[in-house]
Structure 1
């Protein structure tokens, strides 16, 4: 199963052909694919019309610097802004995180988008790629936010995706550009980074996105292509029964698994349901590599949109305006522009 990236604001003929491939499960959209709400709705409709089966349309719409669609959408604050409020009033912070999730998911659903890869439940411990995308450093605090955020997305009719399993926040390296190695033991990870994932899974999270980080005391491969992580720990120990995504296989840290075909098969063999290839130039190679591999199109059925309202109905919903007013009180952090915490390129899955 493969989710692909496309180049621009509308489908090209070759991209329509890609969507016909039996291994193609959907499309991941980026800022390069967005000009306006009307254009986005047309693109989503065209993607669905081009595919011979239901396909998933996804995006990273976290807030802060990782918000692919902006004009016409609420400018969402970064998740780290909730921590200061949590210190003063934990109940208020968790309630507001739930509204953040509901608002983000409702606006996407009104635009024909099935899924945002959210929430980030990595720990805020200085990773250059994560930065202010994480709620906090304390695992128990992040776990509480994970539960609230999953609930808010579900209220909007959107599935929730926890990322980046088993935890990307405690290494410095940005896996978009560098190999990342976390030397800690599994016991340490269970006591820290895995805590928010366990909470989110217990709250009904529908999907998990894997990290490209290597944890050599647990497995020699990056987590997404390690059966120890995907099958034994995520599926077995934590009891997760939802969809497992790879992170973008075009990222530099994925090179540890070999060339692109090797990366694809390594992730799928480890137990990932869906591999992400977000750079359009890599899509033909990926589709060719999967030509003879059986695909399970049922894996994504639970993530498809659940009847979201159109924009007219959403604009008339008083909850939207109330959520916007409440979220406006959170700080807008300097790193929203990418300064000081590792800017995420528009061609990369975050």
Structure 2
């Protein structure tokens, strides 16, 4: 959901937590508490990640995940949607029964911050006390600002943000982030780091909507870094999107399967390099994958399902150990795939979290992940590794 997906987290219950400069983590002397494993959990594979020091978030995450059932691990890999106007109670059983770890607010939430704060608090009430929800929204600015009304500034488009100095943009992003945090949002699925390489009006997902900074790749990277750091100043995580860029396609992956083959972008090129620079310099909370296909990189898979891009480049070349999230799994670009295999294919490629824009996609994706993990130990190990990355992010944020 190139124009919809974004991620954020409620801060309820973190009054006792301390925020570290650059990243935010829970300050506690008791980082070693674990829940005793049952015979069911002890038989599950452990995360395929290096063994970190005892009190690092990754080590804490390993201990937390080792105490989870397989179904609980799978639940951490799914982000469920709450549409504007919907009662949060509509997600109660889904969050509880499927052990869901994240939610996203989408649509036109135009009645102000108090409404959002009430909704996010209610959603958090369905989560376990020791494993709070990540709650997200899409707050880019301009035509893509899902939360409006009293308590939320009207944000300029990204193109307008591109005319600001990096320092001024960081300060503004800090203000916008503070408004999100006050409403219970902790991760914003922004900024867009795609670079439009042709006619802007012909680039439906980005240029036509002024979602990029309107600069060259280097300028887009600089301004993207400013947004990431500004959000972090407000204790809000960022998700750079849509890797490796939607600036060279004509079709919007939300709405079409046509015009979504990129024939020019390469790994190591300037356009993908803008993302790489932001990732290596800021270690953002998340990297969101594009649903387009990149002929010069992996012509057989959209980026979201490409092990060449995720495992090969983002994980191995860039050494990124954070959360890799999909663009909306319910987008038209993926309509030819079996819904039950969407989450499976993301995890197989090295990704973590399925962002879902339609509620009827949730159960098939969850069921597909569970069924594959129960029958395939190697895939279950990938689920464990992915859940560990999600939990490490939550621990850094003080959510777990």
Same fold (TM over 0.5): yes
Equivalent in the alignment of 2:363? 284
Mapped to 2, the partners of 1:67 and 1:82 lie a distance apart of 14
TM-score if structure 1 supplies the norm length? 0.79
Whether 2:308 is the aligned partner of 1:232: answer: no
Structure-1 separation of matches of 2:277 and 2:99: 32
Distance 1:23 1:233, change over 3 A: farther
Distance 2:158 2:265 in 1: 28
Judge conservation of contact 2:228–2:238 (CA < 8 Å) in 1. Answer: yes
Show the counterpart of 1:254: 334
Gaps of 5+ in 1: 86-92, 309-350
Answer whether contact 1:9 1:34 (CA < 8 A) is retained.
no
Instruction: Provide, for residues 16-52 of structure 1, a one-character-per-residue CA deviation record: whole Å limited to 9, x for no partner.
Output: 1110144522101013555332221111111111123
User: In the alignment, which residue of structure 2 is the partner of 1:324?
Assistant: none
Post-superposition shift, 1:84? Answer: 4.0
Q: Which runs of 5+ in 2 are unaligned?
A: 1-76, 374-379
Q: CA RMSD in A?
A: 2.1
> How far apart are 1:181 and its partner, in Å?
0.3
Counterpart of 1:183 (choices 234, 242, 263) is: 263
CA distance in 2, matches of 1:289, 1:298: 19
CA distance in 2, matches of 1:307, 1:276: 22
SS in 2 for 1:161: strand
| More helix per residue | 1
Instruction: Return the match for 1:241 from 306, 316, 321.
Output: 321
With over 3 angstroms needed to count, the CA separation of the structure-2 counterparts of 1:185 and 1:165, relative to structure 1, is closer
Distance 1:177 1:124, change over 3 A: same
Secondary structure of the residue aligned to 2:140 is strand
2:78 and 2:365 map into 1 onto residues whose CA distance is: 8
* Residue 99 in structure 1 maps to residue 178 in structure 2: no
What is residue 243 of structure 2 aligned with on the other side? 165
SS of residue paired to 1:39: helix
In structure 2, what is the equivalent of residue 263 of structure 1?
A: 342
Alignment partners' CA distance in 2, 1:217 and 1:29: 35
Q: Hey, what does 1:38 align to over in structure 2?
A: 114
Task: Report the CA distance shift for 1:306/1:34 in structure 2 as closer, same or farther (over 3 A).
Answer: farther
1:32 and 1:288 map into 2 onto residues whose CA distance is 30
Equivalent position of 1:343 in the other structure? none
Residues 9 and 33 in structure 1, CA contact (< 8 A), matched pair in contact too: no
Q: What does 1:1-350 align with in structure 2 at a 5 Å threshold?
A: 1-7=77-83, 8-13=85-90, 15-22=91-98, 24-32=100-108, 35-52=111-128, 53-72=131-150, 73-85=152-164, 93-125=165-197, 126=200, 127-131=203-207, 132-179=210-257, 180-184=260-264, 186=266, 189-204=267-282, 205-219=284-298, 220-256=300-336, 258-292=337-371, 293=373, 295-296=383-384, 297-304=387-394, 306=397
SS across alignment from 2:104: strand
Once the two structures are TM-superposed, the CA of residue 83 in structure 1 deviates from its matched residue by: 3.5
CA contact (8 A) 1:150 1:203 kept: no
- What is the deviation of 1:231? 0.4
- Aligned partner of 1:320 in structure 2 is none
Question: C-alpha displacement at 1:253, in angstroms?
Answer: 1.0
Is the 1:226–1:270 contact (alpha carbons within 8 Å) kept by the matching residues of 2?
yes
Matched residue of 2:264: which SS? coil
- TM-score w.r.t. structure 2 length? 0.70
Q: Which residue matches 1:319?
A: none
Instruction: Give the deviation of 1:55 after TM superposition.
Output: 1.3
**Equivalent position of 1:334 in the other structure:** none
User: What CA distance in whole angstroms lies between the structure 1 residues aligned with 2:272 and 2:145?
Assistant: 25
The superposition leaves residues 255-290 of structure 1 with CA deviations (integer Å, 9 ceiling, x where unpaired) of 35x121122211111111101111123223223323
Deviation for aligned residue 1:153 = 1.3
Conserved? CA contact 1:167–1:193, under 8 Å: yes
- Kindly indicate whether the alpha-carbon contact (under 8 Å) linking 2:240 and 2:286 is maintained by their aligned counterparts in 1: yes
**In the alignment, what sits opposite 1:328?**
none
